[in-house]
Structure 1
Amino acid sequence: MFNKLVSFLVLFVTALPGIAQPREAIDFNGGWSFTLEDDLQFRHADFSAVNWKTVSLPHDWSIGFDFGEQYPAGNAGGALPGGVGWYRKTFPLAEKDKGSHYTLHFGGVYRYAEVWINGKYLGKNINGYLSFEHDLTPYLRYGNEQNVVAVRVDNSLQPNSRWYTGSGIYRDVRLEKRSPIHLLRAETFITTPEVSADKSTLRVQTVLNQAVSGKAGKLQLKLQDKNKKLIAEQTLAFSGSQFEEEISLGTVALWSPERPTLYDLNISLLDNNGKIIDELNYQVGFRYFHFDEQKGFSLNGKPLKLRGVCLHHDLGALGAVFNKSAAKRQLLIMKNMGVNAIRTAHNPPSEEFLDLCDELGFLVQNEAYDMWAKRKNKFDYHLDFKEHHIDDLVRFVKRDRNHPSVFMWSIGNEIREQFDSTGIAFTKNMTEVVKKLDPTRPVTAALTETNYEKNFIAQAQALDVLGFNYKYFDYDRLPTEFKGVPLIASETTSALQTRGVYDSVHDTIQLWPASSQDKFVTNGNSDFTVSAYDNVAAYWGTSHERAWLEVKKRDFLGGIFVWTGFDYLGEPVPYPYPARSSYYGIVDLAGLPKDVYYMYQSEWTDTEVLHLLPHWNWKEGESVDVWCYYNNADEVELFLNGRSLGKRSKTDDQLHAAWNVLFEAGELKAVKIKDGKAVQEVVKKTAGKPVDVIVDTEHDRYAVDGLTDLHFLTVSLVDEHGTIVPDSDMELSFIPQENVTVIGTDNGYQADLSSLSTPKRNTYKGLAVGIIKKQEINNVGKILIKTNIIEKEVIIK
């Protein structure tokens, strides 16, 4: 079997936004023309797209449609259309720029992207989740002549995924201007052969696009802290096209989720006069980690349980469009819950997402594939796997290997080749490729088969860490079955919840659907909801509490990745259409936490938690289950209209306090008690009729650059006392007044069929979210939020 412990001593880096001259990143997101018609004449430079729609990138054409049952991807694909779309952009270049090198970089296009420049075909990109680029230099025009980029995007073969993919150029595009002699970012790799309390070593490896002589080849390395204090600087001569150098350093601050310290590294190519020919800038994070088969995971010499969640790439009402402030909002919501690790399920994320993880302090299990040669959907990546998976894997690792957040590579999720001998060769081959490109990180895969003799991916004995999805009943046999290899719970839970819905608690966890024989639940709710008490899961999963308890008490499991941090578009288990988004999230699609969020916060943070559920609007005399999540205390006492209903506490097997209460209108209060003293209290009141809205503009926390920042307006429907009204929802209209555009709206309800791009949205259980963008960043904006009885103008600063 296995006989290895995995220990890594590494430094990781990430590209800084903005590149100084002479390397210049030209904004290329604005001024595109778009159509959903398909005609190959659109590729020609002289074609006129004057009647096409004008769009800015990133762009997802699918998200603008109403949800519908007729689309071929089905509700598992988000109940939205695919199709074929064309993009065109015209741009000039000055005569003085002749001789420069130009590359067009696409952060991600879903799917099958073909690119032309001035009518010249540049190629086709197969993988919808990976960045790619084309050299435009030989085909460009200068002076009075215009250049035309045309892109055909084909997402017509469906279903091609198990979740919503989006359609179009959904990540950033940039035009990079470089010197004819320049550094190759994909070939640049920065590591630390040594990190200790008083000494560290920085190794820089890079490659030029063409060889230079010793006289011309000078490379300057400069490392600074975030206060611009110089840590190290070296200038060295070299010849040829490859460069490698080590710099000895003294004590450096280590990177961790609690303290994500970063340094700035500048790599400059100089001429004989010391002038910069080209340069690359990186953020550097120093840390080391270790996986142990018995003790789990440690970071910087200290034990650390991975408290992770799985995240899909969509951003709710934005669809597949990547927006850095929206992603920052998601990550900070997770950070506040106590998350220290992210699994990118089940594909490469955007480059900017990893930048955020570097800066905010998240360890990232970076995942490449959801399938290999054996399909999960008729038209998925299995069609292209054998021809393209190695090239795509190389691009994936080279793109992301310089991020401090990325600490582990995953080559697949629940791959069907684990059940036959083809899994051995594929696993060995891909692991070898990854290790050659990056020997500093472990390679893993997320598996389901827990019998070694039947698991052909494990039999390859190539993976450094084995991840297992679900299989709680097999946890204790894993160390025996897979001897000598570290283990993680790579995917857990699959509990189902709708925010704000509370059905009576049952004695056992309900499985919806009950088994693999059932496609949908047979005894679900008529409104396509699931109770927010933590007591419903898909048949392969379990409750949040049980999943965490099973991992928490086993030191040999390095950590947990919960399925999922946020609800996502598509895969709406356990219901058929009109359900169109998932129920798995700890946070709903709108970014509003479900109650179980506070269970994790009470377990994963030192934040003072006291969260009481459900709301307190019921029928007189109705029996209501009351739960309370708390921490840092001995017990909780519950009061109804001033009368004590008794004290309760958590147990080794239950992470909440619980009561059964006969409803009467008024006030329900929970008091947290420590050492016999009340230390915190929370109140739920019976709400009256809605008379007003309270708006949280949620911007400063999620601001990034001003230019692309979004404002998330969380609107609460309240009574005259400011209590949220959970049972009298009404339609909100978000009406621009000055300097704002409504990007989308949402309420988190998984069966709401209105387009997420509409400026109108019903509240759901008293809440809704509007996503707003200012048109001019330096001026205030104004928006009117209106119902049939309420009008409120909101200032956007």
Structure 2
Amino acid sequence: MREKKKINQQWLFHYGEIGMPKKTAKKAHALGGLTAPLKEEKGEPVAYGAGGEHFLKLIAQGDEIQGLKNLAGTDLDSGIDQNWQTITIPHDWKISQPYKQAPELLMSGSKEDGVGYYRKTFSLNDELMNQKRVILHFEGVMRSADVWLNGAYLGQNTSGYTSFSYDISEMARYGNEGVNVLLVRVDTTTGAEGWWYEGAGIYRDVWLEFVPLIAFDRENAYVYTQELQETQAVMGAEVCIENYSQKIVEVSPVIRIGEQLITLEKQTLQPFEKRILKETFIFPAPIPWSPENPHLYEAVFQMETDECRKSFGIRTFAYDSQGFYLNGNLYELRGVCEHQDFAGVGVALNQDIVDYKIKTMKEMGVNAWRSAHHYASEELMEACDRFGILLMNENRLLESTPWRIADLEKMVRKSRMHASIAFWSVANEEVIGNTNLGSRIAHKLVRCIKQNNYECLVVSAELLNPDGIVNESYLANYDVLGVNYPEADAMGPGAIKIKEQYPELAIMSTESASYFSTRGIYKDNEENCQCSNFGSLFSMILPGKRQPGDPGAGGTATPEKVLNYLTKHQYMGGVFLWTAFDYYGEPSPFGWPAISSQFGIADLCGFPKDYYYYYQANWKKEPVLHILPHWNEEGLEINTDGMIAVRVFSNADEVEIFVNGISFGKKIVVSCIANWEIPYQAGELKAVAYDGNQLITEAKHQTSSTIHAIRSKRIFEGKEYSLFALEAVDDHQRFVPTANNQVTISVENGEIVGLANGNPTNQAAYSLDRVRLFQGKALAIVRTSEASVQIKGIIQK
């Protein structure tokens, strides 16, 4: 049977060029150097037999070693020096590099590109030789990756968002042949794929898979929903069987789903033959997958020599002129867009961090996610399956070059059995969209998707012109037209005009809001690159501080405007908000010294900003009550009359505000918002929510004194990582929302992986033992060795 194991541990990493190994040599597996075993490692740098030894002496006047050097493309005497460090995958080397002020680096996070080398040795047992195929899998390397194994060049992968694999069965070393040497050169200097922070390095898992010679092709093992009925589902299945042996074989493939057995016809395969089988079957009493009930089935593909397990969901998707349908019912998409980075670790996210991000948004009421603007990772797809999040996977560019098409086909096949995959987006805001050229290219991309995924809807995320001018042949490629920012004044009424012109057109909002805010900030501060949570007057369209209502002031559109637009235009089917979290790079509305965006509903660390609770109040049934601002005078905008704005987000009928026990009136909550202007007085600000005359919940802020200690709270516990919120408290254990102190961090029974604070101007040198609080909070990511991990923060004076 097949086996799969991660090889993420004990990699060596060197930042900077060391002399790129050659890609070709004069004889097979003769590159040597760092691509082959070194003196202290088991195995010869170039493996050769008696005839090879004779040949080497002939070409170098009897000097065998010199003969080797004549053949090798690299220095046979290469070694590992002190500039190499031991690291664990996933790894993003860019996150630890210093920030640099340069206009050309601003959008990508103000860090320079570079070259890095990774080296790994591993051993294989003799039992594997000629008995199983050995496949080397890279889930993701940012960006251009050249790979060598055992003195030979394996190949290059260009995109940082695609997985790639090599069958190394024949060229691997087994048993006494010595160790296998893997060298990877990663180069981010040859051009970016996105304008945001993309990171650098081997930032996703690396695997070895051991596959029987007669086996299923995993990516071509596919169970899918053809039709979902009340009492049964009509299902389809495809299976690809590969015979890599040198003999004729008979196999009896079956698919097990719970107690149901689907028996496929017995097959006789010739040596090296590959065969695809197709089947249709009835699945009785299905439990449909949905965000409310993300029920997963497991399909077990079995035959005499192999077993392959894949989870899937039974569900259907559709879009028409009325909106989106899930399992035959109209369904409102409450989605977010998101890049793949995270505070403190860059793009090196493991499953735990992805789970934390998904969980944070799920608790807000999110049911959909757009992987913007790149292919979704395996970790993201797996999390969306489990948590119940409809996923829009996204192709990077509207290009039909051979390598782009090959990447797209590979990623569609890799993702297609994930229950969460509802949409494939062909591209985002392409300037060649709605042209004849764009139409021809889109046709080829859509065909590639439809030929490999029989269930999803295909969309393109378009930034329309205000007049709604479109290319009909371009639109005809898609199941649904995606529109970015249809609610924004700066975009004009283009989406409405298109709908008027094509009333039967399915149209959706693929990107909305882009609302600026800085966690814990309640007045604009240009010097510190901070935006008020009440609504900023800075714009990414026009320079300087603007007037309310100016184009782009506060962002592309306010959250209120986004949801109001969708209420008026329900045929859009819902929304994908930009973005779930702040992200490195694209520091709108400010430039340097800001190094991250401020579009997030949560900050870089995942700490919710205030409008998180506005969406939660609109999207959740449970009582929601959130009050802003905090109640420490520092950082508040108090007018000359001593009055201050107070805002509440709630799904209650009415809310009453109290300061130090004195009521300032009860107000009806309209569209989940109520506002007051009251005199500021230190002490306690309290909100009380009512449905009818019944009190349902309370929320309060208390004025704190100065910071006294650090309180740590484990906010997420995963299989490998735990995430801790570090919070400033005063001598009465009250949260200090204005604390910005430096804190020294120590941990027991764990290892710090990343520290961050969510400050969009945080340019502190990379550290794993010191972090400055921002508005009273910081985040620690800890690799935990046991459940009793303890983390401690000491305030620096």
Name the TM tier (shorter chain): 0.7 to 0.9
3-state DSSP of counterpart to 2:401? helix
Match of 1:351 among 368, 378, 383: 378
Q: Which residue of 2 aligns with 1:557?
A: 572
Superposed CA offset, 1:564-609 (max 9, x none): 0011111111111110011000000011000000001100011211
Q: Which residue of 2 aligns with 1:90?
A: 121
In the TM superposition, residue 460 of structure 1 has moved relative to its aligned partner by: 4.7
Match of 2:683 among 649, 656, 666: 666
Match of 2:291 among 250, 257, 275: 257
Distance change >3 Å, CA 542–CA 342, structure 1 → 2: same
1:335 matched to 2:362? The reply is: yes
In the TM superposition, residue 480 of structure 1 has moved relative to its aligned partner by: 1.8
Between the aligned partners of 1:649 and 1:482, the Cα distance in structure 2 is 40
Superposed CA offset, 1:603-646 (max 9, x none): 00112111010011127863211000001x22111112222212
Residue 662 of structure 2 aligns with an amino acid whose one-letter code is R
In the TM superposition, residue 123 of structure 1 has moved relative to its aligned partner by: 1.2
Between the aligned partners of 1:460 and 1:602, the Cα distance in structure 2 is 36
Q: Which residue of 2 aligns with 1:679?
A: 696
In the TM superposition, residue 419 of structure 1 has moved relative to its aligned partner by: 5.2
Distance change >3 Å, CA 288–CA 419, structure 1 → 2: closer
3-state DSSP of counterpart to 2:764? coil
Between the aligned partners of 1:236 and 1:329, the Cα distance in structure 2 is 44
1:199 matched to 2:232? The reply is: yes
Between the aligned partners of 2:136 and 2:734, the Cα distance in structure 1 is 52
In the TM superposition, residue 336 of structure 1 has moved relative to its aligned partner by: 0.3
Distance change >3 Å, CA 500–CA 233, structure 1 → 2: same
Residue 312 of structure 2 aligns with an amino acid whose one-letter code is V
Q: Which residue of 1 aligns with 2:87?
A: 55
Q: Which residue of 2 aligns with 1:495?
A: 515
For the 8 Å contact 2:12–2:118, the answer to whether it is kept is: yes
Superposed CA offset, 1:503-556 (max 9, x none): 2899997563363xx4xx4239xxxxxx9x999956871111111221133221
Matches within 5 A, 1:683-722: 683-700=700-717, 703=718, 706=719, 709-722=720-733
1:40 matched to 2:20? The reply is: yes
For the 8 Å contact 2:142–2:160, the answer to whether it is kept is: yes
For the 8 Å contact 2:298–2:312, the answer to whether it is kept is: yes
Between the aligned partners of 1:366 and 1:263, the Cα distance in structure 2 is 21
1:785 matched to 2:789? The reply is: no
Q: Which residue of 1 aligns with 2:544?
A: 522
Q: Which residue of 2 aligns with 1:418?
A: 433
3-state DSSP of counterpart to 1:433? helix
Larger of the two Rg values belongs to structure: 2
3-state DSSP of counterpart to 2:175? coil
Superposed CA offset, 1:721-780 (max 9, x none): 3221123431111123x3221111111110010145432111111111111112x34x63
1:109 matched to 2:109? The reply is: no
Between the aligned partners of 1:181 and 1:216, the Cα distance in structure 2 is 10
Superposed CA offset, 1:133-168 (max 9, x none): 011112111122111111111111355521000101
1:758 matched to 2:771? The reply is: no
For the 8 Å contact 1:394–1:433, the answer to whether it is kept is: yes
3-state DSSP of counterpart to 1:416? coil
For the 8 Å contact 2:523–2:533, the answer to whether it is kept is: no
Between the aligned partners of 1:545 and 1:347, the Cα distance in structure 2 is 28
Distance change >3 Å, CA 247–CA 119, structure 1 → 2: same
Superposed CA offset, 1:470-510 (max 9, x none): 13252433322344221111000011000010028999975
Residue 302 of structure 1 aligns with an amino acid whose one-letter code is N
Distance change >3 Å, CA 722–CA 87, structure 1 → 2: same
In the TM superposition, residue 182 of structure 1 has moved relative to its aligned partner by: 1.7
Q: Which residue of 2 aligns with 1:772?
A: 782
Q: Which residue of 2 aligns with 1:246?
A: 280
Match of 2:387 among 360, 365, 388: 360
* Superposition CA RMSD, Å: 2.6
Match of 1:446 among 458, 461, 476: 461
Between the aligned partners of 1:251 and 1:160, the Cα distance in structure 2 is 45
1:464 matched to 2:474? The reply is: no
Q: Which residue of 2 aligns with 1:5?
A: none
3-state DSSP of counterpart to 1:316? coil
Distance change >3 Å, CA 534–CA 352, structure 1 → 2: farther
Superposed CA offset, 1:360-417 (max 9, x none): 1000011111x435xxxxxxxxxxx634221111112111111110011101000111
Between the aligned partners of 1:695 and 1:335, the Cα distance in structure 2 is 23
Distance change >3 Å, CA 395–CA 43, structure 1 → 2: farther
1:217 matched to 2:217? The reply is: no
1:175 matched to 2:208? The reply is: yes
1:598 matched to 2:613? The reply is: yes
Matches within 5 A, 1:593-632: 593-618=608-633, 622-631=642-651
Q: Which residue of 1 aligns with 2:61?
A: none
3-state DSSP of counterpart to 1:89? strand
In the TM superposition, residue 438 of structure 1 has moved relative to its aligned partner by: 1.9
For the 8 Å contact 2:227–2:316, the answer to whether it is kept is: no
3-state DSSP of counterpart to 1:698? strand
Between the aligned partners of 1:509 and 1:27, the Cα distance in structure 2 is 46
Q: Which residue of 2 aligns with 1:165?
A: 198
For the 8 Å contact 1:638–1:671, the answer to whether it is kept is: yes
Between the aligned partners of 1:347 and 1:54, the Cα distance in structure 2 is 30
In the TM superposition, residue 345 of structure 1 has moved relative to its aligned partner by: 0.3
3-state DSSP of counterpart to 1:556? helix
Using the size of structure 2 for normalisation, the TM-score is 0.86
Distance change >3 Å, CA 753–CA 712, structure 1 → 2: same
For the 8 Å contact 1:307–1:561, the answer to whether it is kept is: yes
Distance change >3 Å, CA 172–CA 73, structure 1 → 2: farther
Q: Which runs of 4+ in 1 moved over 6 A?
A: 211-215, 504-509, 533-536
In the TM superposition, residue 278 of structure 1 has moved relative to its aligned partner by: 1.6
Distance change >3 Å, CA 613–CA 510, structure 1 → 2: closer
Q: Which residue of 1 aligns with 2:757?
A: 747
For the 8 Å contact 2:537–2:545, the answer to whether it is kept is: no
Residue 216 of structure 1 aligns with an amino acid whose one-letter code is E
Between the aligned partners of 1:425 and 1:67, the Cα distance in structure 2 is 42
Between the aligned partners of 2:572 and 2:766, the Cα distance in structure 1 is 39
Superposed CA offset, 1:431-485 (max 9, x none): 1221122232211000012578743486351111111001325243332234422
Q: Which residue of 1 aligns with 2:581?
A: 566
Match of 1:477 among 480, 485, 497: 497
Bigger mean CA offset, 48-57 vs 714-723: 48-57
Q: Which residue of 2 aligns with 1:156?
A: 189
3-state DSSP of counterpart to 1:446? strand
For the 8 Å contact 2:16–2:116, the answer to whether it is kept is: yes
Between the aligned partners of 1:506 and 1:748, the Cα distance in structure 2 is 15
Superposed CA offset, 1:8-51 (max 9, x none): xxxxxxxxxxxxxx201122111211112321246531443364
Between the aligned partners of 1:624 and 1:157, the Cα distance in structure 2 is 52
Between the aligned partners of 1:584 and 1:245, the Cα distance in structure 2 is 47
Between the aligned partners of 2:472 and 2:611, the Cα distance in structure 1 is 34
For structure 2, the residue ranges without an aligned partner over 5 or more in a row are: 22-32, 37-44, 46-77, 270-274, 525-530
The structure with higher relative contact order (CA 8 Å, sep 6+) is 1
Between the aligned partners of 1:537 and 1:586, the Cα distance in structure 2 is 18
Between the aligned partners of 1:569 and 1:148, the Cα distance in structure 2 is 34
1:372 matched to 2:398? The reply is: yes
Distance change >3 Å, CA 43–CA 535, structure 1 → 2: farther
Q: Which residue of 2 aligns with 1:321?
A: 348
Between the aligned partners of 1:123 and 1:761, the Cα distance in structure 2 is 41
Q: Which residue of 2 aligns with 1:512?
A: 538
For the 8 Å contact 1:641–1:666, the answer to whether it is kept is: yes
In the TM superposition, residue 208 of structure 1 has moved relative to its aligned partner by: 2.2
